[in-house]
Chain A
Amino acid sequence: MIKKSRKVRDYKALTKALPTLRYLDPEYVYIHLYNARAKTYDLFVKEGDYVKVGEKIGVRHGGFFEQPIHSTVSGYVGKIMKKFHRTGRKVDVIEIRNDFKDLYHESITDRPDYVIEQLSQDDMVEIIKDKALVGLGGSGFPSYIKLGTKDPIHTVVINAVECEPYLSSDYRLILEHPNRVVTGLKYIMQALNAEKGIIAIKSEKDPLYEILTQVLKVRFPELNIEVAKLGNHYPQGWEIEVFKYALGIEIPHGVLPTKFGVIGFNVSTCVGIFDAIKHNLPVIKRHFTLTGDAINFPQNIRLRVGTSVRDLIKLSDGFKEGVKEVNVIMGGPMMGVSATSDDIIVSKTTTSVIILENTEYVEEPCVRCGSCVYSCPVSIEPVQIMNAVKRGDKDVMRGLEAYKCIECGLCAYVCTSKIHVTDYVRKAKKLIG
């Protein structure tokens, strides 16, 4: 239909009201040895070794950083095997058999508040680097690099918009642990010496607004933190869009937000920073959503990193009866990766697994209605890029700025003819490099 349409049906009612289920003691956990950003690794343990929670068992090597690998249970190290990662590739994982004692490693000790107050930016960066914290919203970008920025920062924005349909883990996280979120933000503001903090939520998430303002008023009256209610449209959770609506700052393509004095962290990352600094804890547990229309009991789950999704599907009473074909999607349904098997491991950056009944959409010829052009958040023209890809005309792809695409998937979502426009734009991005 010919209009700008950025409303995406959100299906969050499936899990939004459900309290988070604890599933903290799987028999085995599997820890990824490499991931989307780090391609090689060294392992410090061998089969049969005993490890404790939070113990460093190896290190991943990325292009420009190193990332320690931590055990998320106490128990015995098993074999190295291959399992699916969030990115859709099979990667090496190490199996650890849980002994259910939950023994924490000696290094995991709480830092008293007076020590934390003395920490400088460099100290915090060092802690976070050591605890291997990455962007937990799905980006996987090492947080210490972000936190170690040398640009002057005046505002820290916590992104709790969660604009993808179906997901509700961030929502439950704030609802259940608002203190951790605010304290995490306090630490970030301290590290960056920022004057102001903003927690960005969707305007429809009213309970969050009340809870956060209450917590801020009662517990943290000294902090300059605001709760910003942003719109309900998609992709409101994209960082640039959050800055635009929360602060009115428009950041052009290819410029780092820190140049404008603002920085954004995902709400899970913010809680991760709280855990790392307060408890000296790496990411061993996370909030997770297992949902979709093809699963019997959609749930929000708090789980150990490294839990197998197969166990979780069993926990949710399996697939619905009579469903012949499903998509297993890691991440949100708009941008997530669809797996070829359910043998997936929850990594630090996996926010959710969504199980949808497979629908084959019938593509009709493009009628040039322009919905994709009207709706595109980066103001490019997906349909014209699609035609250029069909012709193989790279000049046109470049001229139409296909490289700006953030692959939010809105163009395919709104398409009147149900054409997979996003896929063509993705191809264009690859072709022009």
Chain B
Amino acid sequence: MPKIISKSAPHLRRPNASVTRMMRDVVIALLPLTMFAIYKFGMNAVWILLVGIISMVATEYLYYQVMDLLDGEKLVLRNKRFTLYNYSAMTSGLIYSLTLPDNTPLFVVFIGGALGMFLAKLVFGGMGQNIFNVAGVARVLVVINFGTLVSYDIDSVAGATALQMLSENAFNPAVLDSFSLLNLFTGMGIPGSIGEVSTLLIILGGIYLAFRTSFEVRIPLVYIGTVFVLTSLVAIVEGIGLWYPFYHIFSGGLMFGAVFMATDPITSPITKPARVYFGFALGFITVIIRLFGAYPEGVVFAILIMNMFVPTFDYYKWTHSKFTRKRNLIFASVVLVSMLVVLVGVLYA
């Protein structure tokens, strides 16, 4: 006679759904990029990846061991709060190291990773509690603190990354001589961060994630779509060809950030409409920073800025899990206004 246990309904759970599976899928989706990075940048990439991942995982492990000690618990080798088993720290570490340029000094990689993990995730209470994207914070720490040490490998022909070129001589089709759109798409012969250059492989990873339903496909679609539309608008006003918007979405960290960083579910809104609005806001801010900001690249900043507004999207007074007519109208007018802002900016800049 077995023991009868009483529980509350429902008594079933979905098979094949777990946080581990979700995070592991992200790692799998990043594998082609990682391989491409190693193929292209050699041992440099291997070291950066190793140090990036280890800095984050080790920081988390040490933190939980120290916390357990402070709580007066017995020290055990397998810490129960440690999240290596569900790939979450590893995913952050991998994404973080893939956003770094290939000649980043290793101590910088380490400090960025450890600090990023600590400041963005652990102090907020660990997995599921962080407000900011961990990889994003680590990346920004590196840019801001070690900006002079971190520069892209200067290509003998081009002299700068695609976006730096564009930032310096905007609206000049001459940039295409250095970087053809095809090269930007495949990532061959393009300087840049070790994992961000190949649009093709990023899209492949995104398709894998979409099929495994391990990320919200609306965010990258809307994000990239917004950047495309806004830059097309600029292209039309300036009278330049369709290469301009494609140049924007293929270069820099846009694809990578949209597919792997903006979609982090912990730091994105929770409802379908809010995720669409979130993607749009990301695109808008990215375009603003790229066109009018001091930095040539705005993806990580856009993601971190919008991370701050996630609780606003989810505020109980206006959050709603379905699209409604009224909300669609408001959203459409916001889109129009932001188009106008970009246009005015371009005309008077």
Contact = CB atoms under 8 A, between A and B. Distances in A.
Contact of B265 (A327, A341, A367, A413): A367
B8 A338 contact: yes
Please report whether the interface of chain A is mostly helix, strand, loop or mixed according to DSSP. loop
A325 B11 CA distance: 14
Contact of B13 (A396, A413, A426): A413
Interface stretch (A75-83, A90-98, A152-160, A377-385): A377-385
A339 B12 contact: no
A8 B10 CA distance: 11
A369 B2 CA distance: 37
B196 interface: no
A340 B6 contact: yes
Given A333-B9, A413-B12, A294 B2 contact: yes
B127 A2 contact: no
A42 B12 CA distance: 40
Interface string A325-364: 1111100011111111110000000000010101101001
Contacts of B271: 370, 373, 381
B272 A374 contact: yes
B163 to A, nearest CB: 30
A417 B4 contact: no
B321 A381 contact: yes
Contacts of B15: 9
A342 B126 CA distance: 42
B235 to A, nearest CB: 34
A327 B7 contact: yes
Nearest to A292: B11
A333 B14 CA distance: 13
B12 A165 contact: yes
A381 B126 contact: no
The residue among B19, B22, B86, B272 with the most chain A CB atoms within 10 A of its own CB is B19
Contact of B17 (A88, A354, A359, A414): A414
Contact of B9 (A9, A328, A339, A422): A422
Contacts of A396: 316
A426 B86 CA distance: 29
Contacts, number: 161
B36 to A, nearest CB: 26
A1 B11 contact: no
A45 interface: no
A426 B238 CA distance: 58
A61 interface: no
B199 interface: no
A324 B4 CA distance: 9
B3 interface: yes
A25 interface: no
A334 to B, nearest CB: 4
B12 A326 contact: no
Nearest to B268: A368
B244 to A, nearest CB: 33
Contacts of A368: 128, 265-266, 268, 270
9 contacts: A1-B213, A2-B213, A326-B3, A336-B9, A358-B7, A365-B126, A368-B266, A376-B321, A415-B13
Interface of B: 1-15, 17-19, 21-22, 86, 126-129, 212-216, 265-266, 268, 270-272, 275, 314, 316-317, 319-322
Given A325-B5, A361-B13, 20 more contacts: A1-B212, A2-B214, A8-B12, A333-B9, A364-B127, A367-B128, A368-B128, A369-B265, A370-B216, A370-B265, A373-B272, A376-B321, A381-B270, A381-B319, A413-B14, A415-B14, A417-B18, A417-B128, A418-B18, A423-B8
9 cross-chain pairs, A with B, having the tightest CB-CB distances, nearest first: A409-B10, A365-B128, A399-B316, A1-B213, A3-B213, A334-B10, A333-B11, A340-B6, A369-B265
